[in-house]
Copies of this chain bind each other. A is one copy, B any other.
């Protein structure tokens, strides 16, 4: 819900502004990764006009609060679908249809952290995206 996210913003001392609500509504409603300019176009089509700088700033804020994520392999943004689930949030992305699914797994993270630790590296965050075929596309 947009409402929930807005409450989180406010709880952190950020204002619940109209532009922020609009950007979040788009991310929530569309469900797939969008570039800042995609978001601007979608809003324009709805008769709402936002400066792209505002959109960038809003996305930065949402990402900093883990309410959204930047998908690095495409440079686009999605709403986080895992709410308050701890640990690093990852994506599986179908290279055929573009479907994206977010997941988290503590054990996987732990194994990666341990592996890195053995090499002397202290991990604070994982970026991790799987590319492949979703079940639908695979069965074709």
Contact = CB atoms under 8 A, between A and B. Distances in A.
Given A111-B108, A112-B108, A103 B124 contact: no
Interface string A104-140: 0100100110011001111111111111111100100
Contacts of A127: 72-73, 127-131
A95 interface: yes
A73 to B, nearest CB: 6
Interface residues of A, number: 31
Interface in A15-67: none
B111 A135 contact: no
B131 A123 contact: yes
Contacts of A128: 112, 126-129
B123 A126 contact: no
A117 to B, nearest CB: 10
Contact of A120 (B124, B125, B135): B135
